[in-house]
Amino acid sequence: MAIVVKRITADDDGLFANIAADVFDEPIDPERLSTYLTTPGHIMVLALDGDLVVGQCVGVVHHHPDKVTELYVDEVGTATAYLRQGIATAMLTELFAWGRERGCVEAWLGTEIDNDAANGLYRRFGGAEDTIKYYEFKL
């Protein structure tokens, strides 16, 4: 069966019943999922092998008063058993297309310096590396 890449809406919450290991960082919480899918500017793409979720890619559209509209790519995840099959490329391509449809003219993301697979993927998309520092804050 071929992998299907699909844009997800709030009506698609039933697709999350069967998720391959390590696609998401933690188990899906139905309330968080609903909030995510119904919040304007939040977009999600899934990769499906039949009814099994084998990949996910999510982003947030940012509108600024002084800069162009941009797409922040928040997560890209593919099940280990499905790596190196072009799934992340297909999901990111779809997410970028959806971002452009929503007025985004730039996209950005962060990844670990030692994540060779992710860095290779982003370079293939023509991503320009930057030298930023990452901070997390507990709220």
> CB of 3 within 8 A of CB of 87?
yes
Asked if pLDDT for residue 134 goes beyond 70, the answer is: no
Confidence of residue 37 (pLDDT cuts 50, 70, 90): very high
50-79 tens-digit pLDDT: 999 999 999 999 999 999 999 999 999 999
**Per-domain residue ranges of the chain:** 4-124
Mapped onto helix, strand or coil, the DSSP state of residue 91 is: helix
112-129 tens-digit pLDDT: 777 677 666 667 777 767
Nearest in space to 58 (alpha carbons), one of 27, 19, 21, 96? 96
Residue with the bigger pLDDT between 41 and 128: it is 41
Mean pLDDT in residue range 1-16: 91
CA distance 98 to 46: 13
Mean pLDDT in residue range 87-106: 94
Task: Tell me the CATH number for domain 4-124.
Answer: 3.40.630.30
85-95 tens-digit pLDDT: 999 999 999 99
Q: What pLDDT, on the 0 to 100 scale, is given for residue 127?
A: 73
Q: What pLDDT, on the 0 to 100 scale, is given for residue 1?
A: 62
Q: What pLDDT, on the 0 to 100 scale, is given for residue 13?
A: 83
CA distance 74 to 42: 10
> CB of 15 within 8 A of CB of 46?
yes
CA 47, 35, 32, 105: dihedral to nearest 10 degrees?
A: 50
CA distance 5 to 54: 10
Q: What is the pTM of this model?
A: 0.84
Nearest in space to 84 (alpha carbons), one of 116, 53, 107, 113? 116
